[in-house]
Amino acid sequence: MRIGFDNDKYIDLQARHIRERVDQFGGKLYLEFGGKLFDDYHASRVLPGFEPDSKIRMLKSMADDVEIILVINANHIEKSKVRGDLGITYDDDTLRLMDIFRTMGFAVNGVVITHYANQPAADAFRKRLDGLGVKSYLHYPIAGYPYDIDRIVSDDGLGRNDFVETTRPLVVVTAPGPGSGKMATCLSQLYHENKRGVNAGYAKYETFPIWNLPLKHPANIAYEAATADLDDANIIDPFHLEAYDERTVNYNRDVEIFPVLKTMLDRISGSCPYQSPTDMGVNMAGLAISDDNAVCEAARMEIVRRYFQTAVDAKRTGDGEERVGKIEMLMSQAGIDQSFSPARSAALLKEETTGSPAGAMVLPDGTVITGKTSTLLGAASTLLMNALKALADVEDVDVITDEVIEPICRLKTEHLRSQNPRLHSDETLMAVAVSSGQSELAARLMDHVDDLRGCDAFFSVIISSADEKLYRTLGINVCCEPKYEQHRYYHK
């Protein structure tokens, strides 16, 4: 993959810019952190060279000045809302995030539970936090939020919320997912700080959309594709255009809420230093792009991935055709279609010639490897083996013998009551690992497992959840044609 992003430059620029923003407010800034604070794989796919942990590494460079507040919506706790990429609930992810932050040396102040209205699950979570020795704070629904400014900016509004005592110059406010109440938490803190005579500031850190790239730049279109379920869109920031005669890109929700937010900040602090939503942001990602063509290519590929992920979700659930249509429109804007990935064409051709489900993968050097369904291995397993063989420069020989595979197949069918004797990719990789103790070829394959990270794979049918999980764990970008191998009502 061509590198198109200077990660070291980004970390340096971003840290310096945030320090300048802290100084702008006399040494106290509440920074609303949108998106993923670490493991930002969307950014790493769209901006090749961006490391998934870049933002947390940037914060580590100023860790002594940082403390973190985690925010979770009580309604999300009550509904057991799940983070889709991890498959865990928001309350469990809050604890996971706290563990990671503490392990990395960050001061974690506590957890703010927003929209609290005596939800039983929220009470249970608060008791759980208390048992772990974690401070928790309650923020309440405010009637008329966000438009009834008189009520909001009063002791009966923001003033009713618990105040989180902070001691460091930069307070990062983050959450396990969107809709948690990060902005309202920042405003509540500003209200209480102002009542105490502290003129703290507020800023927002979102990587996408990238404000200084064109509206229809593929990187910004890719972000619209990633958020197709939110029914939002990137637009030109009209406030920035009016104030500075400069075209910048922002999200429509941020633009719509800006006049209200500006009025709140005026009311809380006496003045608002921002003329536009773009002004409020601190993101420097656009200034660290080193090869725009490489970024455009990577972003177009991400749009296609989002299309197939959304199409497969719609096939699985029977819901979401409007999102599929939206991403089709975005693909058209980016000048691409479903066949943009060379892996798709290779997988469909392999299926056509073999008459069975097949897959293909683009290796780091651009080579396209295919895999077909066999008697003992599914297409995902065969493709995984063929890709590892190609990376290890191993001839087309059997690395795992039938003597190893067949007992596993019998275990599946005779004892585990599986109807499918073929090995899934996780079972196949385990067989390679077991064989590597006696087989030099298997050991060579194991040496190249990490080289699969970042590769693109495509399958001619929807693969099993076990295969998909293994591929994603290995860091492989996997997509499938939105069709099932068999006509059934239930699919695992």
- Coil, helix or strand at residue 453: coil
Q: Please give the Cα distance from 11 to 19 (Å, whole number).
A: 12
Note the pLDDT of residue 490. 55
- Mean pLDDT on 303-327: 94
Note the pLDDT of residue 65. 96
What would the pLDDT profile of 411-459 be if each residue is shown by its tens digit? 877 777 777 778 889 999 999 998 898 889 999 999 999 999 999 999 9
Note the pLDDT of residue 416. 77
What b/e readout covers 28-48, taking b as 16+ CB neighbours within 10 angstroms?
bbbbbbbbbbbebebbbbbbb
Domain ranges of the chain: 7-288, 344-480
What would the pLDDT profile of 59-74 be if each residue is shown by its tens digit? 999 999 999 999 999 9
DSSP codes of every residue in 92-112: HHHHHHHHHHHHTT-EEEEEE
Token pair 């703010």: residue:
112
When the candidates are 3.40.190.10, 3.10.20.30, 3.40.30.10, 3.10.630.10, the CATH number that belongs to 7-288 is 3.10.630.10
DSSP codes of every residue in 23-73: HHTTS-EEEEE-S-SS--HHHHHHSTT--TTHHHHHHHTTGGGEEEEEEEE
- Mean pLDDT on 262-266: 95
- Mean pLDDT on 93-97: 94
Please write down the long-range contacts of 245-250, taking CB distance under 8 Å and 24 or more positions apart.
Answer: 247/215, 248/211, 248/212, 248/276, 248/278, 249/209, 249/210, 249/211, 249/212, 249/213, 249/214, 249/215, 249/220, 250/209, 250/211, 250/276, 250/277, 250/278, 250/281
pLDDT classification of 401: cutoffs 50, 70, 90: confident
Highest mean pLDDT, choosing among 53-57, 162-166, 402-406, 483-487: 162-166
- What's the whole-model pTM score? 0.90
- Residue 37, Cα to own-chain centre: how many angstroms? 9
Q: Please give the Cα distance from 43 to 11 (Å, whole number).
A: 14
Sign of CA dihedral 44, 50, 56, 59: negative
In this predicted structure, the answer to whether residue 208 has a pLDDT above a threshold of 90 is: yes
Omega prior to 146 cis, within 30 of 0: yes
Helix (H) or strand (E) holding 456: strand 456-459
What would the pLDDT profile of 165-176 be if each residue is shown by its tens digit? 999 999 999 999
**Measured CA angle at 70 (ends 129, 121), to 5 deg:** 45
pLDDT classification of 403: cutoffs 50, 70, 90: confident
Note the pLDDT of residue 382. 95
- Coil, helix or strand at residue 457: strand
- Mean pLDDT on 74-79: 97
Note the pLDDT of residue 89. 94
Look up residue 335 and give its amino acid.
Answer: G
Among 31-35, 154-158, 242-246, 264-268, the least confident range: 31-35
In this predicted structure, the answer to whether residue 85 has a pLDDT above a threshold of 80 is: no
Three-state SS sequence of 392-428: HCCCCCCCCCHHHHHHHHHHHHHHCCCCCCCECHHHH
**Average per-residue pLDDT for the chain:** 93
* Distance between start and end Cα atoms, the chain: 33
Query: Other CB atoms closer than 10 Å to residue 419's CB: what's the count?
Result: 6
Note the pLDDT of residue 470. 94
Note the pLDDT of residue 488. 64
In this predicted structure, the answer to whether residue 395 has a pLDDT above a threshold of 90 is: no
- Coil, helix or strand at residue 377: strand
DSSP codes of every residue in 284-309: -GGGGBS-HHHHHHHHHHHHHHHHHH
When the candidates are 3.40.140.40, 3.20.20.70, 3.90.1200.10, 3.40.50.2300, the CATH number that belongs to 344-480 is 3.40.140.40
Structure tokens at 194: 């102002």
